[in-house]
Homo-oligomer: A and B are copies of this chain.
Amino acid sequence: MQMAELSGRTGVPVPTLKYYLREGLLMPGVPTSATRSTYAQEHVERVRLVRALVETGGLSLASARAVVLALDAPVKRALDILGTAHEALPAPGSEHPESAEVADLVTELGWQVERRAVARHSLSAALEATAQAGVPVGTEELRRYARAAQTIAEVDVQSAAAAPDLTHMLRTVVVGTVMIDPVLSALRRLAQEHVTVSRLAP
């Protein structure tokens, strides 16, 4: 397969594929001559992955590149996978200091989370922003959200554990972490409607 067919199968225009090549989002094909290369199924999958990350996951091209680079790197131990994944993913508010509220939450729930985990900063920043927006999250609500997040994480980890090898496991964790967020967001809105309707019109 060469460029035109890759374009046809993915729905991405040729100039854009060239751009992705330049930007390191798509690995080069195998050159068959000075001016020709062929591409394989893995290129099709890569392009589809990039588009999914960008369009649905809301990543910038730069973040998408970090993700695919992480996927290409070899994996040593299962324990490293989550760290690699969370490093490769964009962490909004990573420069925000951790709030006491977050520290309390983590210890109170007995969660085993590194003191320097970026997600602590992200959570602090998100809570701060929510308060700035005029609708602060109460302690009790936060606790209930956290418990729901834990059941979600258990599903995540089980799915990842079902992967046949470490490479697939990394892929499941990285891609899942990015792509399931929109799924959860849509499910939440659906559930909001159900809960509201069943309360007001039982």
- Other A-B contacts than A52-B130, A119-B193, A177-B188, 11 sampled, CB-CB below 8 A, are A48-B133, A111-B191, A111-B193, A112-B198, A129-B182, A135-B175, A146-B191, A151-B151, A152-B188, A157-B196, A184-B184
Q: Are A48 and B188 in contact (CB under 8 A)?
A: no
- Contact A188 to B149, CB < 8 A, known contacts A82-B196, A113-B193: yes
* Complex Cα–Cα for A57 and B92 (A): 10
Interface of A is mostly: helix
Interface size class of A (residues with CB under 8 A): 35 or more
User: Which residues from B are CB-within-8-Å of A177?
Assistant: 188-189, 192
Q: Are A197 and B141 in contact (CB under 8 A)?
A: no
Q: Does A12 contact B (CB under 8 A)?
A: no
Q: Are B191 and A126 in contact (CB under 8 A)?
A: no
Q: Does A73 contact B (CB under 8 A)?
A: no
- The A76-129 residues at the B interface (CB cut-off 8 A) are 78-79, 82, 86, 92-93, 106, 109, 111-114, 117, 119-120, 122-123, 125-127, 129
User: Which residues from B are CB-within-8-Å of A154?
Assistant: 195
- Contact A56 to B126, CB < 8 A, known contacts A48-B132, A49-B133: yes
Q: Does A148 contact B (CB under 8 A)?
A: yes
User: Which residues from B are CB-within-8-Å of A142?
Assistant: 183
